[in-house]
Amino acid sequence: MTAPLIDPFQRAISYLRVSVTDRCDFRCVYCMSENMTFLPKKELLTLEELDRMCSTFVRLGVEKLRITGGEPLVRRNIMMFFNAMTRHLEAGNLKELTLTTNGSQLERFADDLYAAGVRRVNVSLDTIDEQKFADITRWGRLPQVLKGIDAAQRAGMRIKINTVALKDFNEDELFTLVEWCKSRDMDLTFIEVMPMGDIGNEDRLGQYWKLSDLRMRLAEQYTLKELSERTGGPARYVELEETGQKIGFITPLTHNFCESCNRVRLTCTGELYMCLGQEDMADLRAPMRNNPGNDVPLEDAIRAAIERKPKGHDFDYSRQTVDGRVSRHMSHTGG
């Protein structure tokens, strides 16, 4: 039962992204509608169930856990879960425990996260203009996020900024963001907006800014050197020769990044999505809850799900329509 997880295309699954909550203290316009209906708390996996689920994946060869949401740090008593995962780091079975956050709660948790073994944090931040930040997050406060980044860096964690490229919103901040990250010694990755969930009155196609265009803009001011580096995720990297910075690009729409996909996503209700851009999923909560003290049915369910992992997603904007849309919000699957 300890054979590694291999999908039908001979890709080893070593990376699990775990959403611990669908709730968030922001309402980013490309991620959620303003008046979201969240899951009843009884449907969520308990912290103990999350531990059991993740420990099973680690036993089956997962070496990297990324904790996501919603906003993972708004989950009550979430440090109990991080502290439980520390034992896998100490045993050497888990190589990395990390998280993606909006940064709003980092000031509170930075020291505790570092003590639990977290060494890298991705902070989702699309603008460093305070008014624009309030507009795009609807509820967010930029100074709170900046204080969180400060606290994480003081604690010793490496910060990567994830910026969704949004047409007519942060195009004018391209160089400002690059220079700001350089001044703070932070990595920066740009992400194309993905067609996930109903976002109310927002125009998904109107938000779409191709990263190939963004790269051309960068090349007007910097010399871009392609890097072969991979970090286990979908990003492709360049180095800006003038500054030595590493800039990442996640391009699910202009470049399909699926050929080396080594990850699956577990939702806070125990659904396993084998592909971010497909609707197929496996219910892992039932085999776990129906078999207390026996993980064999859960392991069997995980292996059966991995056998259905598709070759790639179907996101497509090329026909000037949002094709390949999936119905769930990003906050449900895990950002």
217 is annotated as contributing to ligand binding? no
Q: How far is CA 161 from CA 101, 250, 306, in A?
A: 10, 13, 30
17 is annotated as contributing to ligand binding? yes
| E strands present in 75-194 | 96-101, 120-124, 158-165, 187-192
265 is annotated as contributing to ligand binding? yes
181 is annotated as contributing to ligand binding? no
Cα-based torsion angle of the residue sequence 103, 105, 109, 113 in order, rounded to the nearest 10 degrees: -40
66 is annotated as contributing to ligand binding? yes
* 3 state DSSP class of 42: helix
| Overall size of the chain counted in residues | 335
Cα 161 from Cα 106, distance rounded (Å) = 14
174 neighbors 214 (Cβ within 8 angstroms): yes
Cα 109 from Cα 152, distance rounded (Å) = 8
DSSP 8-state assignment for residue 6: B
54 is annotated as contributing to ligand binding? no
| E strands present in 166-244 | 187-192, 224-226, 236-240
335 is annotated as contributing to ligand binding? no
194 is annotated as contributing to ligand binding? yes
264 is annotated as contributing to ligand binding? yes
138 is annotated as contributing to ligand binding? no
85 is annotated as contributing to ligand binding? no
30 is annotated as contributing to ligand binding? yes
261 is annotated as contributing to ligand binding? yes
* Binding site listing for [4Fe-4S] cluster: 24, 28, 31, 258, 261, 275
* Binding site listing for GTP: 17, 66, 100, 160, 263-265
* Binding site listing for S-adenosyl-L-methionine: 30, 70, 124, 194
* Binding site listing: 17, 24, 28, 30-31, 66, 70, 100, 124, 160, 194, 258, 261, 263-265, 275
